[in-house]
Structure 1
């Protein structure tokens, strides 16, 4: 090997080492208190809890211990998580972005009906918008650090009344999964209803609402198929992304090596697996709800599957451009609209204007 080749190889190796994740020996000895999303759903049971309760302590060789619970186990509804994090009551918290839009309307730009009709587009949207979300957490939540963005399965429609398509939602009372979903329902002549997730099965059973929007597998896990008759798989509610963040005080207390290690572990052992599972969980959820296909999670339901048409997709997309995006743009400062257009707009070809 020539001297020049050797020096070039040594320099490349040094760069690789400099950019490599920290080893467990370099980590701070610390503890992390984690508050996760809904305890009954697949996201928490199959991904959040195993990652924070088991993986982090094991992968850190015991340097990082964790205490894990969920916001519903704490008696919270989900919308308070980031506010409590900003006040240093919660160290690391996860909740649905739509639950926090009254505090931070910029978060709402991440997920709107039909903006990302498939999981591949949803992830491109999430990655493009990540720097905007990170800045919003710093501004709105006292310097908090955004750590992860993951989806629930595609947000579909459960009805405890007969429907044959999108047009049949007109005049119906529908529990919306977020503000923009409620605005879309209003645009098609339905009534968007705000209800805590845990209240929905009873509301469907008693006729307080006719229909409700949530992820296919989430609905199955929570027994919505037992109080609903028809399933409409149009992704009307987007993907209900769950955002994980650490309060600024806790983040700043960690060394650079620990910060880098934690971010790498979150991406490879939490975010990537959740995104990879989203397509299959959407498919399996529909199979478990309707009995059409294999359901490995328990006894399948017998809901009627109502197919969405091309015309239905086109109608949702039209309302997104004509109503939902302009309404959102009016709720935020112009700088957030500009950044949306530079990020999500570039991925989707959409433009938000006031």
Structure 2
């Protein structure tokens, strides 16, 4: 009889242990690494919103923890590949030579919102670019762009000649090509260093979206803002996750994460950057920044349009090793983006 009760007690203890173990393993923490200041739209809106979506979609089985500044922005691709963090985001320009295809969306002349551009890039990535495996070692969660890149300078700009030889911070991607064509002295540096560099006179200006007038407080160090119609370029980014992390999840939770990512997440991210531009412009106005809004026929605009001729062909040539129909992809990207914009 004692043996019988011992057996029952042992079975009960084992069952309790297995139940506790199952409960513990049922909840997984997904570590997201991010950078940029807290007020940046990725940190203020995009990642926190996605975290809520993930937790709701997985019925609480996957909890998202967001970690700030786990490394230099250019290292985030590697940090996720190596499993140091489970997910992250970065700027494609920080991976020169690796991410050639997304640069299509950065080319001047698209003239749409970040939301429209982000959705278009996601769709074209899936249709045209996926087989090129530029994200090998990563699972893509979303593609996105910031709003139109504009010119923030210490001194006013009357024409493009004023920029020749000026030290302008560039972030890579299409900005590198623009700097060469404009005969600037391009200074490569992460966005987080721009305020300090301008404050110390290390650079004369920067190409960035208007949101940074508020997010990076550029209104304190860049008293002149020149707005080109449609912007000078767009900056492209991606959000990504460790595929091994996804493999280790219950398949229904991995699928739930995918459901709240993709085009839905791309649209959210672009929309957040668009709203941040509105707030950035308001901050610039409130701070007394001199804002030069260029018209379609302004001499600087016409100079710029002349200067960017041939950039489409240059990009198509640059991706000739990727075995994609680059021209068709670029044309479709622009069509999707403009149709999306028209429906907004």
Separation in 2, partners of 1:345, 1:305: 33
Q: Residue 140 of structure 2: which of 120, 138, 146 is its match?
A: 146
Deviations, residues 231-257 of structure 1 (Å, cap 9, x unaligned) = 012255533233111122223333443
Instruction: Look up the SS of the partner of 2:73 in the other structure.
Output: coil
Alpha carbon RMSD of aligned pairs, Å? 2.9
Q: Quick one: distance in 2 between partners of 1:109 and 1:329? A: 9
Structure of higher CA gyration radius: 2
Relative CO higher for 1 or 2, CA cutoff 8 Å, sep ≥ 6? 2
- The runs of at least 4 consecutive aligned structure 1 residues that moved more than 6 Å come to none
Deviations, residues 292-338 of structure 1 (Å, cap 9, x unaligned): xxxxxxxx31110112232544544444441x3344344434445x4
Aligned equivalent of 1:69, options 54, 67, 70: 67
- Structure 2 residue aligned with 1:82, among 77, 97, 112? 77
SS in 2 for 1:232: strand
Aligned to 1:40: 38
Q: 1:190, 1:232 → 2: CA distance?
A: 16
State the Cα deviation string for residues 75-94 of structure 1 (Å, max 9, x = none).
x2211111222223332111
Match in the other structure for 1:23: none
Mean CA deviation greater in 211-220 or 262-271 = 262-271
Choose the corresponding residue for 1:306, options 292, 296, 300: 292
Match of 1:172 in 2: 166
1:38-81 deviations in whole A, cap 9, x for unaligned? 243432332234225444224432211222113xx22x221111
Output aligned runs, 1:220-235, within 5 Å.
Answer: 220-234=214-228
- The 5 Å alignment of 1:1-354 reads 29-70=27-68, 73-74=69-70, 76-119=71-114, 122-123=117-118, 125-131=120-126, 132-136=128-132, 138-142=133-137, 144-234=138-228, 236=231, 238-267=233-262, 270-289=265-284, 291=285, 300-311=286-297, 312-322=300-310, 324-336=311-323, 338-348=324-334
Question: Helix, strand or coil: the match of 1:285?
Answer: helix
The count of aligned residue pairs is 307
- 1:207-235 CA-to-partner distances (Å, cap 9, x unmatched) read 22111011211232211110111001225
The separation in 1 between residues aligned to 2:302 and 2:116, in whole angstroms, is 17
Distance 1:226 1:39, change over 3 A: closer
Secondary structure, in 3 states, of the residue corresponding to 1:251? helix
Secondary structure, counterpart of 1:282 in structure 2:
helix
Is the 2:119–2:263 Cα contact (8 Å) retained in structure 1?
Answer: no
Shift of residue 177 of structure 1? Answer: 2.9
Secondary structure of the residue aligned to 1:80 is: helix
Check whether the contact 2:77–2:88 (CA below 8 A) recurs between aligned residues: yes
For the structure 1 residues 37 and 133, does the alpha-carbon distance in structure 2 shift closer, same or farther, using more than 3 Å as the test? farther
**1-structure distance, mates of 2:131, 2:250:** 21
Greater mean alpha carbon deviation, residues 243-252 or residues 338-347: 338-347
